Amino acid sequence: MCGIAGKIGGTVSNSAISEALSALRHRGPDLDGVFFDNDIALVHSRLSIIDISENGRQPMIDPDTGVVLVYNGEIYNYRELRSEFDAATFRSDSDTEVLLKLYIRDGIGCCKKLRGMFSFAIWDPRIRTLHLVRDRLGIKPLHVWHNRETLIFGSEIKPMLTLGAPRGLNMQTVYRYLTQGRVADSDATFFSGVQTVKPGSVLSWCDGELSEKVY
């Protein structure tokens, strides 16, 4: 597995980014990576499985469009999807690069073609939009918190807290767990305002507006 986290809107310090990476490192001990530009920061900790070379390092940035991807999971049909492109356009053998090329060609609608277990974030500077995507069965975790100015996400909640998500308890979730033993029957978590991204869905954040759709 790998770990992803990030923040858009507001400010983020270098120390917060370092703490977020430390909180994710158990998910991906092989490589760390950071993308930072103005009001957006994306972090990734990598467990190298497909293409273990530096060419598969994340965050992965498309040099022509500036689109950035941080990704956790495995796309089982990535070789089939790769065959739709000229092989010379790839510099790695990773499913990550296939996903990035697919998004640039087809937009966020490319999710319909993916077969696998995954969660990922794509920052598209051309339309100033951050997309958060989770696989259909919700195998790979992805959490989100936002207010009117800021959105924070992560594979786990701990790195989200280092990036500025509030630390207050969601007492309704705590009560439901203690009285009924329920913890995974809703999108809510034990942390106030932090929710899980729904399986098979895309959250898109643009200029402080958050939209959701099922793919």
162 touches 26 (CB < 8 A): no
For 19, the enclosing helix (H) or strand (E) is helix 14-24
**For tokens 């930072």, what's the residue?**
36
Catalytic residues: 2
CA distances from 71 to 5, 28, 68, 156, 208 (A): 10, 12, 10, 14, 23
Alpha-carbon distance of 163 to 20, in angstroms, equals 7
Alpha carbon distance 206, 1 (integer Å): 28
Calpha distance 8→153 (Å, rounded): 9
Cα angle vertex 129, ends 125, 132, to 5°?
A: 120
Determine how many CB atoms are found less than 10 A away from the CB of residue 14. Answer: 10
